[in-house]
Amino acid sequence: MRVIQSLRRLQVWRCRMGQQNPRIGFVPTMGALHEGHLSLMRRARKECDLVVVSIFVNPLQFGPAEDLGRYPRTFQADRKACEQAGVDLIFFPQVKDLYPSTFQTSVVVKQLTQRWEGEIRPTHFQGVTTVVTKLLNLVGPHRAYFGQKDYQQYIVIKQLVEDLSLPVTIIRCPTVREADGLAMSSRNRYLGATERELATVLYRALSAGKKAITDGVRSGKKIQQNMMRLCKKHPELSIDYFTVCHPLTLEPLTRVDREAVLLGALRIGKVRLIDNIFAFLGSA
């Protein structure tokens, strides 16, 4: 497995690979790798000839009051995990190389980024779409793998790739969860023991919303209230949003008479958690 830091070296590598025409699978990450990330790498390993992982804590996608400074950086452990997952190359660029002092361009997906995460984190998606565009240009993959865990991000990136006619297929991979349902996340390590126990409420709330749909509730508002009810029992939580929405437009549904995605975000102390699940009419 190779580790490349320099953009120039990566471009040379990509050029050389181009002559052999391998199918390249790409998994962009911010490191602090866990089973969720590894599942993306394994999927890429199955479907592609070469697997490239990027590890880059992207400053552009953090707001001024967010956790950029204390975001976990665990490169040595990440490197081992990548090696075990059969990764061929880690791209591990430095901030000054991806964003030199002359940098002044950003990529914006206008509509899909307005709601939900975009409302709470106004500069977040612009940071994500800008870095993902750069990374896709540098790595030149045939397929890029994203987790359902960050569902809005996945939808935004699909739109970006379509709008800019980028020659890559975006693959959505299922959310990997702990045994008690909590979606794995690099930020889970910030949770203290009591907070960790409380954190399962997010998945339980989304599951309650899904059950309401299965049980025949059709009012979007009632389903939303159903999800929030569980959380409101815990005053130590603060809710950012719960919604039941259209899986492609992410617009809230007043009546749920088709497949829907349930999105939720809350804070426990300083830790912010997001999650989502699909609900199909009549599904168990």
Catalytic residues: 37
Considering only 54, 129, 159, 175, the residue that binds ligand AMP (CB under 6 A) is: 175
Rounded CA-CA distance 198/177 in Å is: 15
Half-sphere exposure of 79 (CA within 13 A, CB side): 10
Site string for ligand AMP, 36-55 (x = CB under 6 A): xx-xx---------------
On whether the CB atoms of residues 151 and 276 are closer than 8 A, the answer is yes
Nearest approach in angstroms of CB 146 to ligand AMP is 4
Interface with ligand AMP (CB under 6 A), residue from 60, 176, 205, 271: 176
Residue 183 contacts ligand AMP per CB under 6 A = yes
Tokens encoding 264? 């939720």
Least CB distance to ligand AMP at residue 55 (A): 8
Place of tokens 């699978």: 25
3-state secondary structure of 53: strand
Taking the complex as a whole, the smallest distance from the CB of residue 235 to ligand AMP amounts, in Å, to: 27
* Position 152 contacts ligand AMP (CB under 6 A): no
If one asks whether residue 30 binds ligand AMP (CB under 6 A), the answer comes out as yes
- DSSP state letters, 73-109: --HHHHHHHHHHTT-SEEE---HHHHS-TT-------
Shortest distance in whole angstroms from residue 61 CB to ligand AMP:
8
Encoded amino acid at 113, one letter: T
Q: Does 29 bind ligand AMP (CB under 6 A)?
A: yes
Helices 124-139 and 7-20: angle between axes, nearest 10 degrees: 50
- Answer yes or no: are the C-beta atoms of 199 and 187 closer than 8 Å: no
Binding site for ligand AMP (CB under 6 A): 29-30, 36-37, 39-40, 146-147, 149-150, 173, 175-176, 183-186
